[in-house]
Amino acid sequence: MEVKEAINKAKNKEQAAFNFLLDTYWNDVYAFQLKRTLNENDAEDITIQTFSRAFDKIETYNDNFKFKTWLITISKNIHIDLVRKQKKSFNNTSKDNEDNYLNIVDNSPTPEDKIITEQNLAKLLRDIKKLKPHYQEIINLRYFQELSYKEISEKLNEPINNVKVKLLRAKKLLAAIITKS
C-alpha cells in the first residue's frame, strides 16, 4: 500500500489504512518529540495524541503537503499546548502558594498561653509535692527529665517492673490529688 492510497482509505475509515500510516510514521513523530521533550514517556504520549488527532481529522488533510509534515505540525502543536498548560498550572500553583503563605497559622503560644501554661505547671508541681518523696522522684525522672524505664531502673537501682508499678501508682495518686482540688 502506498501512502496516498492509505490516506484515501483512512478517509473512508478503513482500519488497515490507519495501521499502515501509524506503522509508517510512528518513528518519525516519536523521534521528533523525543528531541523536543528529552523524555521517552512524554514523547510517546504526545506521539499517541498526534496520531489520535490526525486520524480524527484525516478528512482535513491537504494533499498539497507531505503527510509527514502534517503529522509533525500536529505533534508540535500538541507539545506547545501541553507546555502552555504546564506553565499555566505552575503559575496557578505559585499564586496559590503565595496565598497560602499569607494564610499560615501561627501555632506558637501567645503570651496568654505561656502564662496559663506556667500557672498550670506551678499548680501541677504543687500537687506533685503532695506525694510521698519516692513517688515525686519517679515522676520527676520520667516526665521532667524524660528518662526511659531502663534509665530510671539503673538510677534507682531497682528492677524495671518495680519502676513501672511505682510510676503507675504515682500517676493514680497524682490524678486523685488533681481531681480533689
What per-residue confidence (pLDDT) applies to 100? 56
Residues 93, 118, single domain; the answer is no
Q: Using one digit for the tens of pLDDT, what is the confidence trace for 139-161?
A: 999 988 999 989 999 999 988 88
Separation of alpha carbons 161 and 178, rounded Å: 26
- Of 53, 82, 102, which residue constitutes the final position of a domain? 102
| Total count of domains within the chain | 2
Residues 86, 138, single domain; the answer is no
Range of the domain at 143: 111-180
CA 11, distance to chain mean position in Å, is 45
- Of 85, 102, 119, which residue constitutes the final position of a domain? 102
- Of 102, 133, 150, which residue constitutes the final position of a domain? 102
Give the model's confidence band at 50: pLDDT under 50 very low, under 70 low, under 90 confident, else very high: very high
> CA torsion sign, 62 to 66 to 68 to 70?
negative
Q: Using one digit for the tens of pLDDT, what is the confidence trace for 9-31?
A: 999 989 899 999 999 999 999 99
Q: Which residue has the cell 505552575?
A: 90
Residues 121, 165, single domain; the answer is yes
What per-residue confidence (pLDDT) applies to 99? 54
Mean model confidence pLDDT for the chain: 87
pTM for the model: 0.51
Domain of 134, CATH number, reads 1.10.10.10
- pLDDT at residue 80 greater than cutoff 90: yes
Q: Using one digit for the tens of pLDDT, what is the confidence trace for 100-149?
A: 555 666 677 778 777 888 888 888 889 999 999 989 999 999 988 999 98
Q: Please tell me what DSSP assigns to residue 57.
A: T
Q: Which residue has the cell 507546555?
A: 83
- Residue 39: phi, psi to the nearest 5? -145, 120
Residues 76, 138, single domain; the answer is no
Separation of alpha carbons 144 and 142, rounded Å: 6
